[in-house]
Amino acid sequence: MATPFNYKHLYYFWVVAKEGGITRAADKLNMAVQTVSAQVRELERSLGYALLKPAGRGLVLTDAGLAAMQQADQIFQLGEMLPAKVRDAVSSPTVRLAVGISDGLPKLVVQRLLQPAMAEPHLRLLCHEDELDDLLGDLALHRLDVVLSDRPAPSNANIKLYNHALGTSGVSWYGNDKLVQKAKKKFPASLAEVPVLLPTAHAAVRSRIDHWFEQHGVQPRIVGEFEDSALLKTFGESGMGVFPAAEWVHEELLAHYDVQQLGACGTVKEHYFAIGTEKKVQHPLVQRLLQVSSTL
């Protein structure tokens, strides 16, 4: 009969794996090497697989050890968050909203999407920007309440996720006064003559813009590509080139940047999604965010 599973044994294994050896782990834990080694062996016995194997003067993870380490990382990282969670729960009343921001989502759009939550008087907003796949991993571990993205979450057999459509926005071209005046007469053919700035493929709208160019037979004169939407607009304002932006934030764009609208990008649309782990959203502030869809 297998030895009952023990989380203390898992913790010792986790420290050994992180430190790269039993001796270093024993020093960190302030325990005898023999004790740490025995605890790891007990874990291996309970699981029925070797988790570590010799490599030179140290130890490396086996395939079973890699799988165990991935789970241990999730378990103990959540455990490290426990004191802060408890402290927040008994401190002054706050409504916490942890939002993941896909790095392809324009910053001005993010600001507008979050407006419904900003009216909460006791709001504590935490925003984390990263690639969508990494954010979805944090969402699955309940480190985030919601992820905002310009594309839906891909299907994943290991994580049940729900895409809540927030709406769409048309896209237009913008630039400083000099470039807009130069490009207006022959737009959109003029985009082959004036410098053009584009988002990278991190933004879902990029492929739609490329298709729009093809439909109009335009070979754009691309002089810059940007992952960060704020940088794209800053360089556009400086006169480096004309650039696409969501019409939904037209007023904010003109208020923040010294640019003008050149013309619409046809039927090209940006799409916005709130991604969560529940089909029926429970978090009250996320429910407010979903109301944005009726205004887009």
Whether pLDDT at 30 is above 60? yes
- The residue from 58, 88, 118 where one domain ends is 88
Q: What sign results for the dihedral spanned by CA atoms 66, 68, 74, 79?
A: negative
- The residue from 24, 59, 88 where one domain ends is 88
**How far is Cα 125 from Cα 106, in angstroms, rounded to an integer?**
18
Same domain, 28 and 60: yes
Q: Is residue 1 part of a domain?
A: no
Taking the alpha carbons at both ends of the chain, their separation in whole angstroms is: 61
- When pLDDT is averaged across residues 230-249 and rounded to a whole number, the result is 96
pLDDT of residue 220: 96
Same domain, 139 and 214: no
At 47, which CATH number? 1.10.10.10
Q: Kindly report the average pLDDT of the chain as a whole number.
A: 89
pLDDT of residue 20: 84
Q: Can you read off the two tokens belonging to residue 251?
A: 């007023």
pLDDT of residue 205: 96
Least confident of 1-15, 110-124, 133-147: 1-15
Q: Is residue 79 part of a domain?
A: yes
pTM: 0.68
Same domain, 173 and 162: no
Q: Is residue 144 part of a domain?
A: yes
pLDDT band at 1 (very low <50, low <70, confident <90, very high): very low
Same domain, 282 and 253: no
Same domain, 172 and 266: yes
Whether pLDDT at 2 is above 60? no
- When pLDDT is averaged across residues 121-136 and rounded to a whole number, the result is 91
Backbone angles phi, psi at 264, to 5 degrees: -80, 150
- Residue 153, domain extent: 92-167+273-294
At 212, which CATH number? 3.40.190.10
- The residue from 72, 88, 104 where one domain ends is 88
Query: What's the domain count of the chain?
Result: 3
- Tokens 């940088």 belong to which residue? 231
Q: Is residue 2 part of a domain?
A: no
Q: Can you read off the two tokens belonging to residue 107?
A: 């910053």
Antiparallel, parallel or unpaired: β 162-175 and 243-246: antiparallel
pLDDT in tens, 188-201: 999 999 999 999 99
% of the chain exceeding 70 in pLDDT:
94
- Burial track 199-211 (b if 16+ CB lie within 10 A, e otherwise): beebbbbbebbee
Same domain, 21 and 103: no
pLDDT in tens, 77-100: 888 888 877 877 676 667 889 999
pLDDT of residue 294: 46
Name the range with the highest mean pLDDT among 42-56, 63-77, 140-154, 236-250. 236-250
% of the chain exceeding 90 in pLDDT:
60
- When pLDDT is averaged across residues 59-81 and rounded to a whole number, the result is 87
pLDDT in tens, 198-231: 999 999 999 999 999 999 999 999 999 999 999 9
